[in-house]
Structure 1
Amino acid sequence: MFSHILFPTDGSELSDKVAPRVMELARVHGGRVTAISVVQPFPFMTLSGDSGIVAPDAEVFEGQMERAARDNVNKVAAAASAAGVPFEGVVALSPSPYQEIVAAAEKHGCDAIVMASHGRKGLNKLFLGSETQKVLAHTELPVLVLR
């Protein structure tokens, strides 16, 4: 049914919890998994000169975030190895994670996306947004949402 699953991971406890379920789904269907972790670029512009404002270094921030994203993908790789599921990991830099997820599914020839969702409600959902909801709105692939 699903021969190639894209599994976006943010390294959260919820993503870690659903990873074995994603692997089981792939294993049962004789499929493979591509995991993606998206790093968002440094959110602030640094100011130069004598402004008196000290801002963190964007390169340092993005380097730390990329290492964290690689760790996220490596955790999924370990779950895939334990389940005997073929695996590929991707780390991407994008200001828009949902767009990167949809593009990765297309680029890698995935036939389904399986995502963990925190299930935020109310103002948290309004202000924090939902990458899962955006993926659902911007792909024609089947999307399985796990909690």
Structure 2
Amino acid sequence: MFNNILFPTDGSDLSAKATATVIDLARKHGGRIVAISVLQPYPFVPMGDTGIAVPDMGTYEARMLDITKDNVNKVAAAAQAAGVPCEAVTSMSASPYEAIVEAAETHGCDAIVMASHGRKGLNKLFLGSETQKVLAHTTLPVLVLR
């Protein structure tokens, strides 16, 4: 049924807990996992001579790339230990949901399994929900774990 599962991970505790579930699901269906972690580009924009110290863009992106690689490598290692094939990919996008939907298409995935932080109220309004955006922009089945 689910032969090729996309698993977006942000390295959070919720994503770490969801890793076991997605591995079990892939194993039960004889499937494979494509783990993706999305690096958001440097968010700081210098605003003239304000005296504000702005972190170096190259340093920021290099550190964040290391983190995204670590996120997917943890999933790949857990999948390998369970005997489940896993491809680890990283992407850079200002809109993580777009990168997730695109990766699902590019890798021929037939389902997306992702953790949701389950934010409510104003936090959800201001922070947005990548999970909600993925649900709105894909035609694939999406299993949301909390």
TM-score bracket for this pair, using the shorter chain length = over 0.9
Whole-Å Cα distance in 1 between the matches of residues 25 and 51 of structure 2? 54
- 1:88 and 1:35 map into 2 onto residues whose CA distance is 6
Q: Residue 11 in 1 paired to residue 11 in 2?
A: yes
RMSD of aligned residue pairs (Cα, Å): 1.2
Q: Give the alignment's TM-score, normalised by structure 2.
A: 0.96
Structure 2 match to 1:77? 76
CA shift for structure 1 position 32: 0.2
Percent identity between matched residues is 69
The residue that corresponds to 1:41 in the other structure is 41
Aligned to 1:52: 51
Q: How far off its partner does 1:46 sit?
A: 3.5
Q: Distance in 2 between matches of 1:61 and 1:132?
A: 25
Moved over 6 A (4+): none
Q: Which amino acid aligns with 2:119?
A: R
Q: In 1, Cα distance between the equivalents of 2:44 and 2:53?
A: 12
Look up the SS of the partner of 1:74 in the other structure. Answer: helix
Structure 1, unpaired ranges of 5+ = none
Per-residue deviation, residues 20-70 of structure 1 (Å, max 9, x unmatched): 11000000000000000000001112467x653321011110111110111
Distance 1:94 1:13 in 2: 22
- CA shift digits 1:58-96 (9 cap, x unpaired): 111011111011110111011101211011001111100
TM-score, normalized by length of structure 1? Answer: 0.95
User: What displacement does 1:122 show?
Assistant: 0.4
The aligned counterpart of 1:109 is 108
Consecutive unaligned residues of structure 2, counting only runs of 5 or more, are none
Amino acid at match of 1:16: A
